[in-house]
Amino acid sequence: MTVDVSISTEENASAAQNERGERAPRARGRPGGEDSRARILSSAGKLFAARGYSGVSMRELARAAKVNLGAVNYHFGGKGKLYHETVLRLIEDIGPVFGPIIHRLVDEVSNAAGNREALSHCTANFMKDMFATVLGKRSLRWQMAFLLREFHQPSREFPMILAERINPMHDAVGTLLAAALELDPKDPSVRLRSQAFIGQIMSFGASRSVVCARLGWDDYSKNRIDFIAATIIPATLASLGLPPVVTNEEKRA
Amino acid sequence: MTVDVSISTEENASAAQNERGERAPRARGRPGGEDSRARILSSAGKLFAARGYSGVSMRELARAAKVNLGAVNYHFGGKGKLYHETVLRLIEDIGPVFGPIIHRLVDEVSNAAGNREALSHCTANFMKDMFATVLGKRSLRWQMAFLLREFHQPSREFPMILAERINPMHDAVGTLLAAALELDPKDPSVRLRSQAFIGQIMSFGASRSVVCARLGWDDYSKNRIDFIAATIIPATLASLGLPPVVTNEEKRA
DNA sequence: TATATTTGGTCAAACGTTTGAATAATCAAG
DNA sequence: CTTGATTATTCAAACGTTTGACCAAATATA
C-alpha cells in the first residue's frame, strides 16, 4: 500500500527512509533536482497538449517551468525524450483515474448477470463517471487534450497509449455492450459500438468549443456536465434496448 | 449550376471563356501563376492538417508544392495569410459536399411531417451519407483532419468555420432530432443530442487509428464503412425511439 | 514594352543543443 | 568542527541550423 503510493507519486523518493528502517542515502549535490524535473514535466504536458510538439519551444517551456534552458536538456536529454517522458507520465497519471471507473463497470456488469435493469444502472453509472471525469476534472484537462491530439495525429508514442489505456477502456465497454446486446465481446460490431459509445462521450471534450458556442456557455461547469449526462444517458440506454433508469426525484413522485 | 462548379473547383479560371462567350482576358506575364497558387493551397491544406500550423515550414511547403520558396510569399504574403486562405478554401470545398447532405436531410424531415417510419429513413439516409463522406471521400480526408484540429484547438479562424459550416450542420440535425423527440429545435437538450449524434460519427474519423487498431484493419474501405453504418444506424434509431429500417434483403425474406 | 511570375539569395530572429564555469549540497578525512 | 573532494544541479553563453520574411534580378508571356 505504501509502496503503491510512493510509486504513483514518485516524489520524495530520496528524502526519507525506506520501509526497512535503513537510512536511505540522502541526495547529494545541489538540491531542487526532483522539483525542477516535476515542474518541467508538468509544464511540458500542458504546453504540448495545447500547442503540440512543434508548437512549443524549449525556451518557452523553460520559462513556463521556471528553470534554466539548459536544465531541460540536463534532466531529459532533449525535446524528443521529454515528449516521451510526458507520455509516460500521462499514462501513469490517468491510470488511477480510469482504472477504478473501468473496474467498477466490469464488476457491475458481471454482477448484473444479464439482468437488464441492473445493466441500465451500470451504463448510467459509467457514463456519469466518464462525463464527470473527462469533462469536469480540472486536473485532467491537459491530459484529455493530449490524448485527443494523439488520437488523430498519432506520434511514435501512440501504440503505448493504445495498449496501456485505450484498449482496456474499450474492452471494458465491450463487456457492457456484449451483455446488453447479447453478443460476443470480440464481435466486430461490439467493437464498433464501443467506439461509438466512447467517441460520443469524448466528442464533448474534443468539441468543447463547438458545444459551448452552440449552448451559449463560456465553459463547462458541474451543473452543465450533469445536464449533459442527464440528456445523453437515456438516449444511450434506448440505443442498447435497456430500460430507462428511474431517478430519485421520479421515484418520489 | 455551371457557376457552382466553377466556384467549387476554382481551377482553370483564367484558361477559358466565360459562359457569355466573351473572351476572358488571358493572363499576362510569366505563366503558371494559377497553377502554382492552387498547388500551394492544396499542399498547405494537407500539411497543416497533418502537422498543424507550426509543424509545417515554408520551405517544406514550397518543396511539397514544387514551387520556389519566394513564390509562396508572393502569392499569399506570409504564412499566417496562407493559413487564412487555406481555411477559406476549406470552407469553400466542403460546402458543396455537405450542402446537399444537409439539404436532403432538412427536406426529408420536412416531408416526413412527423411520420416516424419516414423519420427513420431520413436518419438512416443522413447517417449513410455522413459516414460515406466523412470516412470515405479521399479528397475530404485532410479537410476532416483540419476541422478536428480546429475543433479542439481553435485558431482565430474558428468562428468563421463555426458560422459557415458547423452551425448549419448542427441546425439541420437539430430539426431531425426535434421532429423525432417532439421538442423545440432550440431546446438545449436537442443541441446536446445533436452534438452526440454528430460527434459519434466524427469520432470514427478522429479515432481512425484506434478503430483500425482494434478491428485489425489497415484502413477504412467502402465495405468497412458500409459495415460501420449498418452497425451504428440501428443503434441511433433506437436511441431516438424511431422504428428500425427494413433493409432490402430483409424485405425479400 | 509592360506585366506577372519565378528565382536565388540575404536577413535577423528563433530554434534545439552543447559547453564549461558556478553553485550548493553530501561525505570522508583530519 | 573544519576541510577538501565529490556529486548533482543551475546558469549564461555560444554553437550551428532552420525559421519566416524580404528583395532585386531574371524570365516568360501579352
The architecture CATH gives domain B31-77 = Orthogonal Bundle (1.10)
B68 contact to strand C (CB, 7 A limit): yes
Q: Tell me which H or E stretch contains B175.
A: helix B167-181
B67 contact to strand C (CB, 7 A limit): yes
A21 contact to strand C (CB, 7 A limit): no
Cα distances from B160 to residues A62, A204, B80, in angstroms, run: 34, 20, 16
pLDDT bucket at A123, cuts 50 / 70 / 90: very high
Question: How many CA atoms, within 13 angstroms, populate the side-chain half-sphere of residue B102?
Answer: 18
Distance B58 CA to D22 C1' (A): 14
Q: Is B148 on the interface with A (CB under 8 A)?
A: yes
pLDDT at A3: 26
pLDDT in tens, B129-172: 999 999 999 889 889 989 888 877 788 888 999 999 999 999 99
A203 chain-B contacts, CB cut-off 8 A: 195-196, 198-200, 202-203, 206
Instruction: Quote the CA–CA distance of A222 and B193 in Å, as a whole number.
Output: 18
A248-252, B100-104, B205-209 — which one is most confidently predicted on average? B100-104
B240 chain-A contacts, CB cut-off 8 A: 235, 238
Distance A60 CA to D15 C1' (A): 20
A93: which residues sit within 8 A by CB, 6+ positions away?
Answer: A140, A143
pLDDT at A231: 97
Please list the alpha-helical segments (H only) found in A52-166: 58-65, 69-76, 79-112, 116-131, 141-152, 158-161
Quote the minimal CA–CA distance from A150 to chain B in Å: 9
The architecture CATH gives domain A32-77 = Orthogonal Bundle (1.10)
Which of B152, B192, B236 comes nearest A239 by C-beta?
B236
CATH, range A90-245: 1.10.357.10
- Measured N-to-C along each axis, helices A167-181 and A116-131 cross at an angle, to the nearest 10 degrees, of 150
Q: Is B183 on the interface with A (CB under 8 A)?
A: no
Query: Cell numbers at residue B55, please?
Result: 509543424
Mutation to test the B interface, candidates A150, A152, A176, A189, most B Cβ within 10 Å: A152
pLDDT bucket at B4, cuts 50 / 70 / 90: very low
pLDDT at A26: 58
In the predicted model, what is the mean pLDDT of chain A? 86
pLDDT bucket at A32, cuts 50 / 70 / 90: low
pLDDT at B233 over 80: yes
pLDDT at B7 over 70: no
Instruction: Quote the CA–CA distance of B48 and B41 in Å, as a whole number.
Output: 10
pLDDT bucket at B8, cuts 50 / 70 / 90: very low
Q: Is B104 on the interface with A (CB under 8 A)?
A: no
pLDDT at B199 over 80: yes
- Judged by CB atoms closer than 8 Å, whether chains meet at A214 and B239 is answered as no
pLDDT in tens, A194-247: 999 999 999 999 899 899 999 999 999 999 999 999 999 999 999 999 999 876
pLDDT at A2: 26
pLDDT in tens, A70-115: 999 999 999 999 999 999 999 999 999 999 999 999 999 999 998 9
pLDDT at A253: 52
Q: Is A189 on the interface with B (CB under 8 A)?
A: yes
Q: What is the mean pLDDT of residues B82-95?
A: 92
Domain ranges of chain A: 32-77, 90-245
pLDDT bucket at B14, cuts 50 / 70 / 90: very low
pLDDT bucket at A157, cuts 50 / 70 / 90: confident
Q: Which nucleotides of C are covered by protein (CB under 7 A)?
A: 2-9, 14-20, 22-27
CATH of B84-246, one of 3.40.640.10, 1.20.1250.20, 3.40.630.30, 1.10.357.10: 1.10.357.10
Which residue, B231, B222, B176, B180, is CA-closest to B201?
B231
A75, A33 contact by CB (below 8 A): yes
Instruction: Quote the CA–CA distance of B201 and A180 in Å, as a whole number.
Output: 21
Quote the minimal CA–CA distance from B52 to chain A in Å: 8
pLDDT bucket at A141, cuts 50 / 70 / 90: confident
Instruction: Quote the CA–CA distance of A172 and B118 in Å, as a whole number.
Output: 36
Domains A32-77 and A90-245 share a fold: no
What percent of chain B shows pLDDT beyond 90?
Answer: 67
pLDDT at B27: 56
pLDDT at B29: 58
pLDDT at B232 over 60: yes
Which nucleotide is nearest to B71 if distance is taken from CA to C1'?
Answer: C6
Instruction: Quote the CA–CA distance of A175 and A104 in Å, as a whole number.
Output: 12
pLDDT at B248: 57
pLDDT at B32: 61
